[in-house]
Amino acid sequence: CARMFTVYFPFRSQIGINVTQIRLPKQCTEDQVIEELLKLNDDQRVHGVYLHLPPAFLTSRVLNTLKPEKDVEGISDVNVGRLIRGDFSRGFVPPVANAVLDMLVKDDGPVEGKNVLLVGGKRPLQLILQCLIEKSGMATLRSNRNRNHLQRQNVVRSCSRWLQDQHYRPWRLHPLKLQPLTPVPSDLEISRAQVAKPVDQLATEIGLLPEELESYGRNKAKVRLSLLDRLHSQPDGKYVLVAGITPTPLGEGKSTVTVGLVQALSAHLKLNSFACLRQPSQGPTFGVKGGAAGGGYAQVIPMEEFNLHLTGDIHAITAANNLVAAAIDARILHEATQSDKALFKRLVPSVNGVRKFSPIQISRLRRLGINKTDPESLTSQEISNFVRLDLDPKKITWQRVVDTNDRFLRKITIGQASTEKGQIRETGFDIAVASEIMAILALADSLEDMKNRLARMVVGTSHSGLPVTAEDLGVSGALAVLMKDAIKPTLMQTLEGTPVFVHAGPFANIAHGNSSVLADKLALKLVGRDGFVVTEAGFGADIGMEKFFNIKCRASGLRPNVVVLVATVRALKMHGGGPHVSRHGSANLSLVAGGCQSNLKKQIQIAQQFGVPVVVALNVFKTDTQAEIDLVCQIARECGAFDALPCNHWAQGGRGSVALAQAVKQAASKPSNFQFLYHSEMPIVEKIRTIAQRVYGADDIDLSLEAQTKIDYYNQQGYGSLPICMAKTHLSLSHMPDKKGAPTGFVLPIRDVRASVGAGFIYPLVGTMSTMPGLPTRPCFYDIDLDPATEEITGLF
């Protein structure tokens, strides 16, 4: 085989294998093939071989030459005949590709860098390669796939490039210049005055590969999770949480501190850094609050895109959530109007005379304790158990959602059309971000984990008291399909051109209020050992930070290095006894000191209970006096903060937060002694009590009868080891919004307890939580407009 030559199609797969193709010339002899196979048998660089040869070579001699451990799962001999007949697009290619992947995964040794050789004809092997590429989640083949005959030297070059690509790439970030103006213009004016870098340029600068990026227009892109595999051996960067003291109703600027801090770290201290932010609900954008992209010279741009559809994740959640709801009510109707036999006939239909369970139905049978797979073998009792979810309409906990502030949907009656045959019931809509699916998106650490969580979601209880899950409804596979793109974090940038992930935005009371685990994980790999990931927790530290530690870190396995605690003179005055809502107070050192000694001190102590150093960031307003600023920083240090600094990112961008960035860098170099506040195996009541006493400062808790009954039920159902997600007001450390400072001597009432089994937490209700905002008399949309000639948006803020 003097003319035998090798064509390489090197590519990166999710599990990091190399696939190489060897082509045999047409005029080859059997002996030459065997000789080639013997070489492959002995070649330690070759971990698997897939044979595709003309029929003449498929002799037992040839087939038996290849060592079994190198044979790709017996596919060679079994299917090769079909392949020869050109039958390779009939669902045949995926099994081959699967077998290749399976073989590598099953093997004990490390997977990365393994080589599989595909030997044989060009067209089928190309198809298999393409399929492998698709399966491994890659966008494109790295080598030039349009050329049919690659020169060996090109190939060698592309191979070595490919090997380099496997490794971490140092950043070559080109920050955007800022020239802040005084007075500070509106957020939208600032956002629009800066021209964002094309997102693919930003991606290249921070070491992403083209095939890891899915652009959505020019300014935003989803990042593929395959990045985690590529960089799995790369050490994580430092993990910084931004939390806040108990805020005024106006908010104290955690988002702007987060953005300002990464601008300072990346653009000014030249340290790789990433901000991880929550995606805001679109409801408030058109209601009262406006957007959530940061503000002033610490913003994510373009802020319009951040605040509107983004890459459609919340829309996907809405679609998935409402598919579950539709499935629930349709199922109740069908069960109410059909016999067991009719239901069974329809649920397990006869296709060409054969009834077969779908995989999702087999899962339900397993949970019912029925270990059968042949539909004909079920007893009539088993059939009844299988077909009847027997949902109690009064005990359905699943609500529908819209991403609109639509208060009239808070409580509604559905099913009133005659077609629904009187199956009416009361229910309601929540805002989309309150969906359990949003909490799952934020906590999942892989596609598989998300799919499993979606399947476990409990939507209600049967008349006999059994939980009914999304999988019981047969809908969980479809949910995973609807959510498959939403699970990829969205890359955007700050005003200074530094990278930001926007991903997930669960409610901060009935859920945990933190951005996604996956965005943090991707960012920690991308920044590298000496880099920083700054992520934000919702509400005050008593809620957002506590849930970040006890729920999010428990789910992710990540350990934080620093807490940045955001305070404002305005909020501190309130805690010191000043008015509760005041935009511009006059200087008052004693109120400020009072606030520091109460709320700030307590919030610092909460962080310290978790063993993480605290840097206090005083978000400076132009009305603050130097004496006030100095006082806050001084007391904060006395109360145990590692450091405390004023920051001026709003007026100055990253330059205004350089001192904060330096303090964070120093704090992160200290060893962190992170520990959870409670073990997950502690009884539910004890977990609630621990949080109430050690975080909120309560004397004890007071469980209602309803709460106690629910806890007993959850224990009985095996949910007892889930962590706790308190649904408490964020306006006080206690349950009483009016009690500012650091209240003591109170007993925390637990009105009710609920569970998000898929997301994986129990949430006790301390008071009433609204899960659907309303529109005021004059919503912000009165000012929002679009210039059709320029496509320019006005009125967003």
Residues 291-310, interacting with its own copies (CB under 8 A): 304, 308-309
- Considering the candidates 508, 523, 668, 742, report the single residue annotated as catalytic: 508
- Between 183 and 222, how does the x/- string for binding to its own copies read (CB under 8 A)? --xx--xx-xxxx--x---------------xxxxx---x
- Positions 423 through 462 that interact with its own copies (CB under 8 A): 423, 426, 428, 446-448, 451
CB-based contacts of 686: which residues, under 8 Å, 6+ apart?
678
Of the candidate spans 20-28, 256-264, 331-339, 756-764, the one that interacts with its own copies by CB under 8 A turns out to be 331-339
- Considering the candidates 256, 404, 469, 568, report the single residue annotated as catalytic: 256
Question: CB of 418: closest distance to its own copies in angstroms?
Answer: 8
Q: Which of 1, 32, 395, 415 binds its own copies (CB under 8 A)?
A: 415
- Positions 365 through 404 that interact with its own copies (CB under 8 A): 400, 402-404
Residues contacting its own copies: total by CB under 8 A: 119
Buried b (16+ CB within 10 A) or exposed e, 181-206: eeebeebbebbbebebbebeebbbbb
- The verdict on whether 278 is a catalytic residue reads yes
What sections of 248-358 are H helices per DSSP?
A: 254-263, 282-285, 303-307, 313-337, 340-347
- Considering the candidates 135, 169, 289, 751, report the single residue annotated as catalytic: 289
- The verdict on whether 289 is a catalytic residue reads yes
Nearer to its own copies among residue 278 and residue 451 (C-beta): 451
- Positions 131 through 170 that interact with its own copies (CB under 8 A): 134-137, 139-140
DSSP string, 61-123: HHHHHS-GGGBSTTHHHHHHHHHHTT-TTTTTHHHHHHHHHHHHHHSSS--TT-EEEEEE-HH
Question: CB of 575: closest distance to its own copies in angstroms?
Answer: 30
Nearer to its own copies among residue 87 and residue 702 (C-beta): 87
CA distance 278 to 501: 8
Position 228 contacts its own copies (CB under 8 A): no
Asked if residue 423 lies in contact with residue 338, where contact means CB atoms within 8 angstroms, the answer is: no
Buried b (16+ CB within 10 A) or exposed e, 371-387: eeeebeebeeebbbbbb
Q: Is 761 helix (H, G, I), strand (E, B) or coil?
A: strand
CA distance 395 to 690: 30
Nearer to its own copies among residue 97 and residue 711 (C-beta): 97
Q: Which single residue is written with the structure tokens 């895109």?
A: 305
Which helix (H) or strand (E) element contains residue 274? strand 273-277
Question: CB of 101: closest distance to its own copies in angstroms?
Answer: 7
- The verdict on whether 790 is a catalytic residue reads no
What sections of 596-704 are H helices per DSSP?
A: 601-609, 626-638, 649-652, 658-669, 684-690
- E strands present in 217-265: 220-223, 238-244
Question: What is the chain's Cα-based Rg?
Answer: 30
In the structure encoding, which two tokens stand for residue 41, read together? 């048998």
- Positions 735 through 774 that interact with its own copies (CB under 8 A): 774
- Considering the candidates 610, 621, 746, 761, report the single residue annotated as catalytic: 621
- Positions 89 through 128 that interact with its own copies (CB under 8 A): 89-91, 93-94, 98, 101, 127
Of the candidate spans 311-319, 611-619, 655-663, 678-686, the one that interacts with its own copies by CB under 8 A turns out to be 311-319
Question: CB of 463: closest distance to its own copies in angstroms?
Answer: 19
Question: CB of 640: closest distance to its own copies in angstroms?
Answer: 42
- The verdict on whether 539 is a catalytic residue reads yes
- Between 671 and 710, how does the x/- string for binding to its own copies read (CB under 8 A)? ----------------------------------------
How is the beta sheet containing 5-8 ordered, strand by strand?
A: 5-8, 18-23, 115-120, 48-52
- The verdict on whether 746 is a catalytic residue reads no
DSSP class of 236 = P
- The verdict on whether 650 is a catalytic residue reads yes
Of the candidate spans 108-116, 407-415, 586-594, 689-697, the one that interacts with its own copies by CB under 8 A turns out to be 407-415
Q: At what angle do helices 340-347 and 313-337 cross, to 10 degrees?
A: 140
- Positions 458 through 517 that interact with its own copies (CB under 8 A): 474-475, 477-478, 480-482, 484-485
- Considering the candidates 9, 11, 398, 539, report the single residue annotated as catalytic: 539
Query: Sign of the CA dihedral 38, 39, 45, 51?
Result: negative
> What amino acid positions are annotated as catalytic residues?
254, 256, 278, 289, 508, 539, 621, 650
